[in-house]
Amino acid sequence: MYTMGIDVGSASSKVVILEDGQHIVAAEVVQVGTGSSGPQRALELAYEKSGLKRADITKLVATGYGRFAFEDADKQISEISCHAKGIFHLVPTARTIIDIGGQDAKAIRLDNRGGVKQFFMNDKCAAGTGRFLDVMARVLETTLDDMAECDAKAEQAASISSTCTVFAESEVISQLSKGVDKNSIIKGVHQSVASKACGLAYRGGLEEDIVMTGGVAKNAGVVRAVERELKKKVIVAPNPQTTGALGAALFAYEEAKKMKKEGLE
C-alpha cells in the first residue's frame, strides 16, 4: 500500500511517498511553496520517480502552512504533529526537535512514545528563520549553499541582533562597510538564527536527543551555532527538509490502516 504526505510550506513544497508505512519510494523537494506551482511540481516529480499515479495512493495527508489550500488531500494535519511523527520514525531517541523552516521556527518536546508533550513557535517574525538567511545571503552576495563553508572559515562571529530581520540587515550592511570579515558576519548571522531557535527550545525545556530538522538544518553553520548555544550535541535529521512530509505520509498510512480495519470488521 502506498501513502503520501505533502508538506506545503511557505518557501518550499515537499512530497514523500511511502510503501507500507516503512519504505520511502520518493522524497521530492521543490523550492517554492504555497500559492505557487511548487506543490504540483513536487507531486509530479514524486510520481515520476516512483512510477506511481494518484490512483495508486491510498491516502494523502497535507501539512504545512498551505495545507488547507491543497485540495486533493484526504486530511490536513498540522506541521508540528507531522514533524514529530517523521522525526520519531527516523530517530526514535529524539526528545527535543528544533525545526527551522522558511518562515517559522519551532521547538517540539516529545515523550518516549513520540507524542508531542509541548511545543513553541516563533511569533510573526522572520528573524531566526530561513527567510532571514535568504535576506542575509542576498546582502552578503553569497548563496545559502556557500554560507556553511564561509562560516567554517571564520575565526569569530560578528555580533548580529536576533530580534528583527530589517535591523539585522542594516547591522550586516554596517559591519560590511566597516570592513568586518564576511565569514565572521556569516557566522554571526548563523549565531543569530540559532539563538532565536534555541530561545524556543529553552522554553519547553531541553531533553536529549536533540534533533534538528527543516530546510535550515541543511546549513552546517547553523547546526554548529545551535550546538555552541545549547552546549549539547545535535543530530541532524536525514533529509531534513522532508521530515514533515514523511510524518504526513506516516499519518496517511495509519489512516489507511484504520480504514481497512474498519472496512474488514
Partner 1 sequence: MSKVEAILKQLADVAANPKKAMDDYKAETGKGAIGIMPLYAPEELVHATGYLPMGIWGGQKQIAKARTYLPAFACSIMQQIMELQCEGAYDDLAAVLISVPCDTLKCLSQKWKGTSPTIVFTHPQNRPLESANKFLVEEYKIIKTKLEKIVGATITNAAIEESIKVYNENRAVMREFVKVAADYPQVIDPVARHAVFKSRMFMEKSKHTALVRELIDEIKASPVQPWDGKKVILTGILAEPNELLDIFKEFGLAIVADDLAQESRQIRVDVIDGEEGPLYRMAKQWQQFYGCSVATDTKKIRGKMLMDMVSQTGADAVIVCMMKFCDPEEWDYPVYYRQFEEKGIKNLMIEIDQEATAFEQVRTRVQSFVENM
User: Which residues make up the interface to partner 1 (CB under 8 A)?
Assistant: 65, 76-81, 84, 104, 115-116, 118-121, 123-124, 205
Q: Which is nearer to partner 1, 28 or 171 (CB)?
A: 171
User: Which of residues 9 and 221 has its CB atom nearest to partner 1 in the complex?
Assistant: 9
Distance CA 39, CA 231 (A): 38
- Smallest gap, in angstroms, from Cβ of residue 123 to partner 1? 5
Q: Which of 137, 138, 139, 141 is nearest to 221 (CA)?
A: 137
Is the Cβ of residue 126 or residue 150 nearer to partner 1 in the bound state? 126
Smallest separation (angstroms) from partner 1 to the CB of 98 = 16
Nearest approach in angstroms of CB 81 to partner 1 is 5
CA separation for the pair 77, 82 (Å, rounded):
7
Closest contact distance (angstroms) between CB of 240 and partner 1 is: 19
> Which residue, 123 or 155, has its beta carbon nearer to partner 1?
123
Cβ-count burial 129-149 (b if 16+ within 10 Å, e if not): bbbbbebbbebbebeeeebbe
